[in-house]
Amino acid sequence: MKKISISIVFMFALILFSGCELEDIENPNAPTVSSFEEGSSEADIMLLATGLEAIMRSDLEFHYDTVSILGRDYYDLTGVDPRFTGELLKGPLDNNGFLTTRSYAAWYKVVKSANILIEAVENSVAGFDEQQKNSYYGYAKTLKAYALLMVANRQYDNGIRIDVADPDNLGPNVSYEEALTAIMNLLNEADSDLANASDDFVSLSSGFDGFDTASTFSEFNRAIAARVALYQGNDQLVLSLLEDSFLDLNGDLYEGPAHVFGLSGNDISNAQFHVPLQSGQEFMAHDSWVDDAEAGDTRVDEKVVELPDGTSFDGLSADYQVAVYESNVDPVYLIRNEELILIYAEANIGVDNDETVEAINIVRNAAGLPDYSGATDDTSLLQEVLKQRRYSLFAEGHRWIDLRRLDMLNEANVPLDRSGDNVIDAFPTPFTEQL
C-alpha cells in the first residue's frame, strides 16, 4: 500500500512557512516556493501533488475534537489542557489562542499548497498537454474547496478569505453565504477540469482507491458539492449533484475517499484513535448520546466503550470513552456513502417523503434497528434524519454544523452541564487576520 511520507509535510512546512528573516538566504540543496512556481519539472509536480494530500492530515484530530466538543458529541476529560473544558465550553474564545488559530492555519496550509501546485503546473517545463494540466487543476481545486469548506464551517458568520493567492494582497473576509457560493463555484470549475482531464490521473495514496481516475475523482467532487448545496438549503441541487456522485443506496456505508496512516518512520498515525480504557485517553462521549439511543442500536457499541467507573474532570463527568477507530492506522474519511445516503434522505423531504423513509431505513437497518415507523410529515422526518446523522456520523464533525444550519443550536439540543457553560456558534476571526 502506498504511504504518504511525513517528510513531505515537513518539506511543505519549511517551504511555506519559513521565517521572513530567511527569505534572502538561498539553499541550493532545498526546494523553494519560487523554484516550484517557475519552471518546475514533472517530478516537482508529482511531489507537490503528493504533498497536498499529505498535508491535509495536519492537525486533523484537532479540527474534529474542537467542533465535536462544541456540539457535545464528546468531551476531552484528559485534563491535558483545561481550555478544552473551560474556554471551549464557556467562551469567549480567545481570537489569538490555539483553539482559534490552530485549525484555521492548518486548513489554509492546504489552500496554500493547492495554490502552489496550480501555479507550478501553469509554469511547468514538463511539457504537459492541456488534459494533463486539467488533471492537476481538478485535483488541486477540489481539495482547496474542501479545505475552504472546513474552515468556513468553523468560522461561520465571522467569515473567511477565499482569495489568498497573493499573501501581500489578500482578498476580503466574506460572509458564510458568500463563502459557500465561492466554494461551489470552485468545485464546479474543478469538475469541468476533471471532465477534460487525462486518463493518466494524479498518483494518489491508497486512501483514494476507487477515486483515482478523473471520472471517479469527479464523483468525490460532486459528493462534496452536494454537501455544500445541503448547507445552502438547495435540495433540488443536492439531488442533482448526488446523481453524479458515488452515492449508492445499496453500497458499503464506508465507501469513500479517506486519509490513510501508517506506523513507519516516514508516516504518521491516526491521532483520533484512543486506547480503550487507558488513563490519559479520556475523550468521553456525552452521556446523552448513549442515553438517547434506541435499544439495539449497534452504533453505540461500535463507537464507544464503557469505563467501569466513568471519569470526571473540571465539574464534568462521563461514562463512555470514544472508540470510533479501532487502531491508530484506521482511515479517516473525507466523505463517505453513509453521509450521502443521509443527505439524500434529507433533500427528499418535501419532495418525495417515501424516498426519504427508504433511505432512512437503509441506515437504520444497518445499525440493527427496524424500519422507521414514526410520522411521515416533513418535520418528523427531518428530526429522524438528524437523529440518524447524530449516530452514524458521531465524532466526524457534523453535529455542531447540523444543529446550527437547522436553527437548532440552542440549549434544547446542546447540553449545558455546568453553570457558566454556553452555546458557541463560531470561532472568532484570528487576531492576525484583523491587522
Query: Is residue 20's pLDDT more than 80?
Result: no
Give residue for cell 448520546: 289
Give residue for cell 423531504: 349
By CB neighbour count within 10 A (0-12 exposed, 13-18 middle, 19+ buried), where does 76 fall?
A: buried
Residue type, 124: S
Query: Is residue 22's pLDDT more than 60?
Result: no
Residues 6+ apart with CB under 8 A from 253: 336, 337, 338, 341, 363, 366, 392
Are the beta carbons of 394 and 51 closer than 8 angstroms? no
pLDDT band at 33 (very low <50, low <70, confident <90, very high): low
Among residues of the chain, what percentage have pLDDT more than 70? Answer: 91
pLDDT tens figures, 258-306: 999 999 888 999 999 999 999 999 999 999 999 999 999 999 999 999 9
Helices (H), 213-261: 214-232, 235-243
pLDDT tens figures, 370-403: 999 999 999 999 999 999 999 999 999 999 999 9
Are the beta carbons of 15 and 31 closer than 8 angstroms? yes
Question: How many C-beta atoms lie closer than 10 Å to residue 375's C-beta?
Answer: 11
Mean pLDDT of the chain: 93
Are the beta carbons of 179 and 228 closer than 8 angstroms? no
Strand pairing category for 316-322 and 173-174:
unpaired
Helix (H) or strand (E) segment spanning residue 363: helix 353-366
Are the beta carbons of 262 and 269 closer than 8 angstroms? yes
pTM greater than 0.85: yes
Measured between alpha carbons, how far is residue 385 from residues 135, 150, 226, 363, 396 in Å?
36, 22, 16, 10, 16
Take residue 48 and report the three cell numbers written for it. 507537490
DSSP letter assigned to residue 394: T
Are the beta carbons of 283 and 65 closer than 8 angstroms? yes
DSSP SS3 for 85: coil
User: What number of CA atoms fall less than 13 Å from residue 329's CA on the CB side?
Assistant: 8
Overall average pLDDT of the 236-256 stretch? 98
